[in-house]
Amino acid sequence: MFRSIRWRLVASFVGLTLLTVAVVGVVGLSLVRQLTVQREVAFLQANASAIASQAEALLRRGYDLSRLQDLAHTAAFLSDTRVRILDSSRRVLVDTGPRTEVEELVWVDPVTQAWLQQAQATGQAPGTVILTLPTNRPWVKLWPEVERFLAENLPAGTEYIVVQRVVGAGGSRVEFRTGRVPNQVAQPTPEPAAGALAAASPRSTQVIVAPIGDPAQPWGFVELSGGLDTSRQAVDTARRAFTLAGLGATLLALAIGLLVSRSLAAPLDSLAATASRMGAGDLSARAPVTTQDEIGQVATQFNRMAERLETSFAELAAERDALRRFVADASHELRTPITALRSFVELLQGPAADDAEARAEFLAESAAQINRLEWITQNLLNLSRLDAGLVSLDLAVHDAGEIVADTAAAFKARAAEKDIALAVETPDRPLLVRCDRPRLELALTNLLDNALKFTPSGGAVTAGAKATPAGVALWVSDTGPGVDPEDLPRIFERFYRGRNNGAPGSGLGLSIVHSIVQAHHGRVTVDNRPGEGCTFTIEIPR
Ligand code: ADP
């Protein structure tokens, strides 16, 4: 499952959130702990100094242990700590002892305690007692415990007033609660679970000592300890808050991670689906481009690649078909003279062996077929060499007009024989072109050969050269039938011959022209006028 980007993304979102919450939590908690410990110590120190100065005032008036005890107990109750008063050699004079469970609930001063004991002994209700609750207890919560305590510890019918100083954000106020211990004490309620109250009010381990009198020569010391562990409470509260916040943040990260990963993974999924369709052979498959981001760009590039791949495959298929056709055509062209030669040889070996005239005729025919075979193989070899770029042209600067005139001169006799007007149109001044002259002459020869072959008697063939913006053009124009428009797209292919022509030929002439012109980085075009003739133009760049 975690191999998929989707889940890895979600996991990293959640992991990052947890890590952040953990780091912030650890730092936050240690700050909270540090701050609350500082405050706790400051609180204890302030109290210890205050008690020490009161103790000093008492001691100035003379040593009275009971006064010191009263001071210690009152201070212990009000500050909710254990108070010890030590003499200068650190012997304990007064020790209020650790805070008891009862003291945590309600404090009964010694006078009231004596009064209550007397009332309990005589069995009479002592009237109204006033009781005080420790200052910083959330006593409203503990009220049922307080009531139970009062019912168990005060004689039935005792009326009580409970006083509590409630410290709020805007200051402190005094609250009173009045009540009466019922006559019939109901079934004693079960004891609270052991340690419940202690657990509710953990005690600090801080111990603060303040000197009484001159710190250099103190009369004794006030030692405060066992106050409420406010720092632990604060840290616990902060930890709970962090845990809740962490849980919330994790859930949020999970939801956001799922949303983001889904939006990222969907286009990737469709890209993968397209790739596998292409892999299965469907080259027309394209990925949907739904976004402009990096994934969108990948999809666009992927589609471009697919486009090129499809085009290349189509081109390869077309080339393969052309090659097959070429092989078939070539073997057909070669087979024709070979078949003729075989039948001549058979005739010469058999029936014509003794006929001198027939023998001479067959030998002449055989020589013609061998010439044809040689011509075809030579041209094929030339063509494939030219096309494969194996032939390096012998380039030199020549006068294009002279090339045209010289090539056309070789056709004069044939034109006269066929009663065709052969003309040459070249500019007066030399038209220089950089070319392989024998090869360019071969191309012109092929064009003139076709022109004379296809033009009927009485027609005209014109060859010429002229300057063009890009270089030089050499052209051959005739007044023959022109190229059949259906043949036009294929006349430059090897072995392609026009369908309606009874003229002899191999279909290699124009493909040789095309290859030679291409080797010169030029082009050959045809201006076809069906029924009126055509003009083939070779353009050679400067
Ligand atoms: P071939 O002439 O041996 O048939 P080419 O490659 O020279 O082969 O020419 C291919 C085809 O182009 C010809 O068969 C003919 O149909 C057409 N063609 C070429 N030149 C001309 C022309 N001057 N007039 C009409 N058709 C032509």
pLDDT at 2: 61
432 beta partners: 399
Q: Helices 356-387 and 294-349: crossing angle, nearest 10°? A: 170
Query: Which residue do the tokens 């010429």 mark?
Result: 464
What is the pLDDT, as a whole number, of residue 325? 77
Q: Can you give the pLDDT at residue 421?
A: 97
Could you identify the residue written with the tokens 């030199």? 396
Mark 370-405 as b/e (b = at least 16 C-beta within 10 Å): eebbeebeebbebbeebeeeebebeeeebbbbebbb
| Separation of CA 486 and ligand 1 centre (Å) | 13
Strand order in the sheet with 92-95: 92-95, 82-87, 220-225, 207-212
What pLDDT, on the 0 to 100 scale, is given for residue 113? 72
pLDDT recorded at residue 451: 96
- Ligand 1 binding pocket mutation candidate from 452, 453, 478, 497 (most atoms within 8 A of CB): 497
Q: Which residues form ligand 1's pocket by a CB distance below 6 Å?
A: 450-451, 454, 478, 480-483, 487, 491, 496-498, 501, 505-511, 534
66 touches 229 (CB < 8 A): no
Residue 84 per-residue DSSP state = E
Ligand 1: nearest atom to the Cα of 511: 6
The Å distance, Cα 209 to ligand 1 centre, comes to 123
* Ligand 1 pocket: which of 450, 454, 492 to mutate (most atoms within 8 A of CB): 450
pLDDT at 183: 74
User: What DSSP designation does 408 have?
Assistant: H
* Ligand 1: residue whose CA is nearest its atom 12: 491
pTM: 0.48
pLDDT of the chain, 542 residues: tens digit per residue: 567 778 888 888 899 999 998 999 899 999 988 998 888 888 889 999 999 999 999 888 888 888 888 889 888 877 778 899 999 888 999 988 876 655 666 666 667 777 777 777 776 666 777 777 765 566 666 677 777 777 777 777 788 888 877 766 666 777 788 888 887 655 544 444 444 443 445 677 888 999 998 888 898 999 998 777 777 778 888 889 889 998 999 999 999 989 988 888 888 888 899 999 999 989 899 999 888 888 889 999 999 999 999 999 999 998 888 788 778 878 887 888 899 899 888 888 887 788 888 888 889 989 988 988 898 888 888 888 877 777 788 999 999 999 999 999 999 999 999 999 999 999 999 999 999 999 999 999 999 999 999 999 999 999 999 999 999 999 999 999 999 999 999 999 888 888 766 777 778 899 989 999 999 999 999 999 999 999 999 999 98
The ligand 1 atom at the shortest distance from the C-alpha of residue 492 is 6
| 510 Cα nearest atom in ligand 1 | 6
Q: Which atom of ligand 1 is nearest to the CA of 499?
A: 16
Distances (CA, A) of 8 to 57, 207, 251: 72, 52, 16
